Amino acid sequence: MEVIRLEALSDNYIFLLVDRQQQIAAVVDPAEAEPVLKQLAQLKAELVAIFNTHHHNDHVGGNQQLIEHFPQVTVYGGVEDRGRIPGQQVFLEQGDRVQFAGCIAEVIFVPGHTRAHIAYYFPPEKSGETGDLFCGDTLFSGGCGRLFEGTPTQMVDSLSKLRSLPDDTRIWCAHEYTLGNLQFALTVDGNNADLQRRFNEVKTYRSRGEATIPSLLGMEKRTNPFLRWDQPSLQSTVKGSDGVQTFARIREMKNNF
């Protein structure tokens, strides 16, 4: 399974999963259809699946047009998004499995950003290879999504599930927010040497117009404050009495950054 990153809207990423042998593809969170259709035409590939993480329009905006071009496509999403994702046919829960190109992904229920958000985790096929996590707006490179429909407790539980995955998991999140996220991270975790180095690297990448996605989960664990709510230094900085309060205070600070 090959992953092709497509740019969309102002800062979105769409991920096209490709099986070149069978000339089929699946797409994760098609914000709009045109970039997907253009890439599929170049590949001469048929779209067989749409994997949605949640119902927001910048993740499902291309669904209907893609369905019109590929009427046999199967549209997946979370069970609690019933009626909110265009064309949804499969309603997924925690622990369900989906398959593409001989690879099987585990569905992880990660409410917080929305009440129904899910993620798709493809574990490595062989020892030494990386896994792939398609996490929508739950976990960002250097950050996490705003809490529109969920609570801090829910989001900490959801991020805990993602944090428990192997360090070499590739994080395919849906927005190019890394530089701004790390600028904020330095305001609450400024003595973190890994974070300082990462910020300087990302600044260079973005100055050249290069994408920062995917990131690696191991790096996120060391530098992303939204995965570090249990670190005493962060708890002290934001005066959080426990992990959930620390997370909630960091999230509120980021909202106002």
| Residue extents of the structural domains in the chain | 2-255
Give yes or no: 55 in active site.
no
- Catalytic entry in 113, 117, 132, 189: 113
Q: Which of 58, 96, 132, 189 is catalytic?
A: 58
The verdict on whether 117 is a catalytic residue reads no
Give which of 256, 253, 227 is closest to 239, Cα–Cα. 253
pLDDT digits 0-9 by tens, 5-27 = 999 999 999 999 999 999 999 99
pLDDT reading at 114 higher than 90: yes
Across the chain, mean pLDDT equals 97
Helix, coil or strand: residue 224? coil
What is the tens place of the pLDDT at every residue in 157-216? 999 999 999 999 999 999 999 999 999 999 999 999 999 999 999 999 999 999 999 999
Q: Can you give the pLDDT at residue 38?
A: 98
User: From the annotation, which residues make up the binding site for Zn(2+)?
Assistant: 54, 56, 58-59, 113, 137, 175
pLDDT band at 79 (very low <50, low <70, confident <90, very high): very high
Which pTM was predicted?
A: 0.96
2-255 is classed CATH 2.60.120.1360: no
Task: Give the DSSP H or E segment for 244.
Answer: helix 243-255
Is 230 one of the catalytic residues?
Answer: no
